[in-house]
Amino acid sequence: MTRALIKAWPALAATAFALAIWQAIVTLSGVPRFILPAPALVAETWWTNRWVIAEHAWITAVEVFLGLGIGALVGVATAIQLATSRYARLLVQPVLVFTQALPVFALAPILTLWLGFGLSSKVLMCVLIVYFPVAASFLDGLLRTPPGYLDLARTMQARPGQVLWRIRVPAALPSLASGLRLAAVYAPIGAVIGEWVGASRGLGYLMLLANGRSKTDLMFAALLTLGVFSVLLHLGVRALTRRMVREEV
């Protein structure tokens, strides 16, 4: 417990400093509460509406977890296919790069039109945001296998499947871990953007609803809840990827 507190103290100190600056700005500037509420008011609003916020946070969390899982699996499968087929790289990789030139957020209204206001459009939005970082990072790792490993595999007459799963994939796991950590940061953005475009539940919907009713304190409470969830998601994915890489070493 003490060791965990020692590791967490920089983050706690930074949080306390940010809250102190926030409170000082509100106090010294005299800004109206409907423009910038004080931290104490946001905390009070969060506690008063904790069950409502928790209900919407659960919907957003489901969207994020589904999108992150599906996007990561599809990204890994795509990277393996591209790494094992030169023709697939020639045909598919330029298309992937072109799709990233399009603003993904602009696709949210189209996805809502096609899939409706339910869970599917938000999950697909997360998948689209998560997919490319995972696929690109893992593919880069697969294509950068140390030459010495491959020379040893050829000397021992290893089959292509053995080279892939016993040499190239384990050597590329650090790159995959980097892509997953990046995807964990982006996934909540996809869910909230989808909820902003069209939804009846979720933290993004709650923020829009609070903004329309000039309940800035509730909007900040929902925003901070989303921020805490995003940080916890990133820490969880980072812990899992560290364990994954360590076990393969």
pLDDT digits (tens, 9 = 90+) for 152-203: 888 888 888 888 888 899 999 999 999 999 999 999 998 999 898 888 899 9
Greater confidence, 101 or 151? 151
Q: Considering the entire predicted model, what is its pTM? A: 0.89
Q: What average pLDDT score do residues 21-28 get?
A: 86
- Residue 156 tokens, joined: 């021992």
Distance between CA atoms of 121 and 119, rounded to whole angstroms? 6
The reported pLDDT for the residue numbered 225 is: 95
Q: pLDDT digits over 61-115, tens only?
A: 999 999 999 999 999 999 999 998 888 888 887 777 777 777 777 888 888 888 8
Q: Where do runs of H (alpha helix) occur along 30-118?
A: 39-48, 50-84, 86-101, 108-115
Top-tier CATH class for 39-248: mainly alpha
Length of the chain: 249
The reported pLDDT for the residue numbered 10 is: 73
